[in-house]
Amino acid sequence: MRARYKPWAAELIEAHPGIVIPEPEKLKGRWQEEFGNANPLHIEAGSGKGRFITGMAQANPDINYIGIELFDSVIITALQTVLETEGGIPNLRLLRVNAQEMESFFEKNEVDRMYLNFSDPWPKTRHAKRRLTHESFLSLYETVLPKNGEIHFKTDNRGLFEYSLTSISDYGMLLKDVSLDLHANEPEWNIMTEYEEKFMKKGQPIYRMEAQYNS
């Protein structure tokens, strides 16, 4: 998702260092201190405009959330949601960074769950290494998650879903819950992402899985 270039975005982000954390590496191993509690930490890699992560944080005040997004022009919408929410969203922080660098921001065991929603599919075989469910990423996530940590993944893209099922099971992870049409019987706890709403309205099935590391 690449929103139109917004020259004012960087300025607004800089004006709110308590929400979009400017130097997250300084908080590595200290996120509980940052949130002021010992609640679990759930993160989303590629959080886009933040509909999912802001909704989850509001629905689950006893869990801390971090949304990771590459682009100023996109993350700015999540920041605006926080600013427009009365009282803010105290259990949410945003990082405008590359999720590939997450080892610099989190210690082992510091993250309790990872969300991947509508990750870029990179359909060409030669780009498979860029898919966020490639084994190199699964290995990266394992460095910040605890033993038996979980990844929760949703997508509209059948090719990416099939690739991910194989990649995740080849990695030795346990597939706990797999749905080929999440909205056929939408769980009451489901919080939609921007992309999810768009594809659901077009009548496309949404695929979802929960996967757990076995070490």
Report strand pairing: 174-179 vs 150-155: unpaired
Window 2-41: contact mask with ligand SAM (x via CB under 6 A): ----------------------------------------
Region 147-186 residues binding ligand SAM, contact defined as CB under 6 A = none
- Nearest approach in angstroms of CB 46 to ligand SAM is 3
120 vs 170 by CB, closer to ligand SAM:
120
CB burial string 136-163: b at 16+ within 10 A, e below: ebbebbbebbeeebbbbbbbbbeebbeb
Q: Is 96 helix (H, G, I), strand (E, B) or coil?
A: coil
Confirm or deny that 181 is annotated as ligand binding.
Answer: no
Are 155 and 206 within 8 A, CB to CB? Answer: yes
Window 58-97: contact mask with ligand SAM (x via CB under 6 A): ----------xxxx--x-----------------------
Catalytic residues: 120
- Nearest approach in angstroms of CB 61 to ligand SAM is 22
Contact status: 195 vs ligand SAM (CB under 6 A): yes
Taking the CA atoms of residue 214, residue 188, residue 206 and residue 89 in that order, the dihedral angle to the nearest 10 degrees is -80
Contact status: 47 vs ligand SAM (CB under 6 A): yes
**Alpha helices of the chain — where are they, by DSSP H?**
9-14, 31-35, 51-59, 72-84, 135-142, 158-170, 194-201
Count, residues near ligand SAM per rule CB under 6 A: 21
